[in-house]
Chains A and B, each alone.
Chain A
Amino acid sequence: METTETDTSKYHPPWRKVAYGGMQPGYNDNYTDETFLEELVTNANVVKRDILIVMQDSVSISQYLCIVALVVIVWIHTLDSVIGEGSLLLLDACLLGLGFLILLLTTSQLSLKVLSKYLLNIAFFTCGLFVLAPVYHTLTRSISSDSIVALTISLLILHLFLHDYSGYTIRPPGCAKNPNLASNISLNASIVASVLVASRLPSRLHVFAIVLFSLQVFLFGPLITFCIKKYSFKLHLCFSFLLISMTLSIIYFLHTVSFVIFTSLLVFISAVCPYMLIKIQVYKFEINGPWDEAKLCFDITD
């Protein structure tokens, strides 16, 4: 720090943090006062994370991964003609019933009017799919199977990457907040993947059944899991563990190598990632001070 008090007998006023009045007498322009960086605030908004809570939160991600893995298993088996169209339609109906049951149990204010509105929407949705099934059936006839498989896998990876794990993209009617761009893209990717897989199936009923199944899971699955989580966190954890164990056992009986890969992936997400996150939090260095752009305290409504 520099002070230029060449003549200590001559009094000059103390240094002030002002820009007017020209050069302050007795001080150079590069004088650095003791109050320099006094208003600097570091790490004001940093939240100290607890490893158990982070691991509990990562259960949502593992749960959704298992759901997607189950969907892929159903796809593979349908393409190999192991599951027939009758069983698929039964599966669709069961899933629909189960979903409605969970919705009724967990959401408190579901009046008859809203329920009938939901039922009407589902009916329209199903009829629309049934009508469009012939179109999907012949959609990718001229594309080779390898391209379809590669495209489906990349779309599923994109879907998992951009998925909104804390909320749900399909909002019930009358909801205020709009979904953001990333969750929309992920939803579209999953829909396109389902359609691509469906177009490889032999008959139109197959196509209708598999598209209905895939879309039920991808569109309404996040909503159901969000309702469970909102109702009771313990129920959410139980449900997730049940789902994870069911998925792991199914994969174990099907293919040992994929079981190993899937298990290691789940361990990575549930244990390794939270640990790494907490470990690198030490390096967080947030700087705030009077030079920051002011934040508006009100929402800008256009």
Chain B
Amino acid sequence: MDQQLRHRILMVSDFYYPNFGGVENHIYYLSQCLLQLGHKVVVLTHSYGNRSGVRYMTGGLKVYYVPWRPFVLQNTLPTIYFSLPIIRTILIRERITVVHGHQAFSTLCHEALMHARTMGYKVVFTDHSLYGFADVGSIHMNKVLQFSLADIDQAICVSHTSKENTVLRSGIPPEKVFVIPNAVDTAMFTPAHKRLDCDTIVIVVISRLVYRKGADLLVEVIPEVCNLFPNVRFIVGGDGPKRVRLEEMREKHSLQDRVDMLGAVPHAQVRSVLISGHIFLNSSLTEAFCIAILEAASCGLLTVSTKVGGVPEVLPDDMIVLAEPDPYDMVQAIKKAIHMLPYIDPHLMHNRMKGLYSWHDVAKRTEVVYDRARQCSKKDFLHRLSRYLRCGAWAGKIFFLVMLLNFLLLSLLQIWQPSDNIEEVPDMELSQDQQEDIQLNSCEA
């Protein structure tokens, strides 16, 4: 690839492999597809147990597991200034051009964006979740987001509802926000070879059993559905604080033979659980974009979901049945799905999914965002400082001072550890065979 057009991207987040989740998978797959397009990608995250230091993943993806312990909810301790030296070293060493932060809830992401902005790098942020405006936690989180996005080049959201939410929370102009959804690895989630017979209908639920994911709705819906349809069975995968309530419900209505509780399902076995069912039930109370639904659709399951957040945008109307987050409505939706079932062909659905979602498409669209970011005007740091004053009467001034102090510390660091002394890493050129291997194995065909 032409050196002029090549981007050197640093993905920053607290959430990465070996954890499995929406954000983690997004970063991994996006990085792999960007590597295939010819860009250079480096990932920065905190250490996970003994996994600390520099690791290399498929395709030459370099991951810096900085030796910081997660502090609460998988986040590193927010020290604001103490992360400056190491982030500066990584940025100079890898000759980064764009810093891409993920997830508003990640303290490492905010700190890296702050330091990158102080040093003048181009900065892109992706928001993966929806947040409210009313409770104390959300109010503070939105203020932090306002700070991070005050001086950002471009932002990415995973759905249109998420774009509206981010624009309201942070106050950035809507033209700066791109909507690039997640995708699914359709090569990994293929339907079963033999189509399941429809005598017993199996409904699969795989989610963390917490309040936010609607476990309480499941407790109301499952007995009702089992009562109305004698040939329906449930498979519930996942663990969490609400598992006790589901077990109690199972005992109370004597549904031990009709409801299977699998416990926590490792990511590698999700597909085998999905292909044993006909219908996938998602009862979340809030969802920016639900990757679980994509995985289920890729395996050929018909989805029944609550109509919250960005879920209505995810699948076409013939692949999903939406319901209000109300037990009666959900039972009606499951009834409709059961009637639709004979007309569903899993392989047809899988082939359609291959056309609708693709990580390569996501990577190309993200490349457009990086190109846009590069074209953004290169203003001096001191000129950009005034943007922070717009964050609020008091907060604006505090943020201004925080960034000013960061700039002073950076200048000090530049005297103490000049950037010429930091050895730059040469690019790793993969041989032709290795490149072919990677293209066959990674992402989807």
Q: Measuring CB to CB, which residues of chain A are less than 8 angstroms from any residue of chain B?
A: 1-2, 17-23, 28-30, 32, 36-37, 39-40, 286-287, 289-294, 296-298, 300, 302
Contacts and interface: CB of A to CB of B under 8 A. Distances in A.
Contact of B368 (A2, A29, A292, A294): A29
Nearest to B283: A294
Interface stretch (B30-38, B74-82, B155-163, B259-267): B155-163
A290 B369 CA distance: 26
Q: Which of B132, B288, B306 has the most CB of A within 10 A?
A: B132
Contact of B177 (A30, A37, A296, A297): A30
A18 B319 CA distance: 14
**Which of A22, A296, A297 gathers most chain B CB within 10 Å?**
A22
Given A1-B174, A36-B163, A297-B326, 14 more contacts: A2-B175, A18-B316, A19-B289, A22-B361, A22-B365, A30-B154, A32-B175, A36-B164, A286-B133, A291-B132, A291-B309, A293-B212, A296-B216, A298-B327
Contacts of B285: 293-294, 296
Interface string B205-218: 00000001010110
B398 interface: no
Interface of B: 130-134, 154, 158-165, 167-168, 174-181, 212, 214, 216-217, 220, 245, 285-286, 288-289, 306, 308-310, 313-316, 325-327, 355-358, 361, 365, 368-369
B161 A37 contact: no
A21 B310 CA distance: 15
B220 A29 contact: no
B222 to A, nearest CB: 14
B178 A29 contact: yes
Contacts of B175: 1-2, 30, 32
Given A19-B314, A20-B357, A291-B130, A302 B212 contact: no
18 contacts: A2-B175, A17-B313, A19-B179, A22-B356, A22-B365, A23-B365, A29-B365, A30-B177, A36-B163, A36-B164, A286-B133, A290-B308, A291-B131, A291-B165, A291-B286, A291-B309, A293-B285, A300-B216
B305 to A, nearest CB: 12
A293 B167 CA distance: 17
Nearest to B362: A22
Nearest to A24: B179
B313 to A, nearest CB: 4
Given A296-B325, A300-B216, A29 B369 contact: yes
A158 to B, nearest CB: 22
B178 A30 contact: yes
Given A286-B134, A294-B308, A20 B315 contact: yes
A41 B355 CA distance: 36
B164 to A, nearest CB: 5
| 10 nearest CB pairs, A to B | A19-B181, A294-B325, A293-B286, A29-B178, A291-B165, A20-B356, A32-B174, A294-B285, A19-B313, A291-B130
Nearest to B313: A19
A262 to B, nearest CB: 34
Contacts of A32: 174-175
A296 B245 CA distance: 16
Contacts of B131: 291
A290 B168 contact: no
B217 A296 contact: yes
A36 B161 CA distance: 9
Contacts of A18: 313, 316
Nearest to B164: A37
Contacts of A290: 161, 164, 308-309
Nearest to B326: A297
A72 B411 CA distance: 62
Contacts of B133: 286-287
A29 B159 CA distance: 11
Contacts of A286: 133-134
A19 B160 contact: yes
Contacts of B368: 29
Contacts of A300: 216
Contacts of B160: 17, 19
A77 B118 CA distance: 67
Given A19-B159, A32-B175, A297-B326, A40 B134 contact: no
B168 A40 contact: yes
A122 B166 CA distance: 59
A187 to B, nearest CB: 26
Contacts of B154: 30
A1 B176 CA distance: 11
B167 to A, nearest CB: 8
A291 B164 CA distance: 8
Nearest to A297: B326
A301 to B, nearest CB: 10
Contacts of B308: 290, 293-294
Interface centre among A23, A290, A298, A300 (most CB of B within 10 A): A290
Contacts of A2: 175
Contact of B176 (A17, A21, A30): A30
Contacts of A22: 356, 358, 361, 365
Nearest to B133: A287
A60 to B, nearest CB: 27
Contacts of B327: 298
B433 to A, nearest CB: 31
Contacts of B162: 291
A293 B132 contact: yes
A173 to B, nearest CB: 29
Nearest to B294: A20
Contacts of A298: 220, 327
A289 B220 contact: no
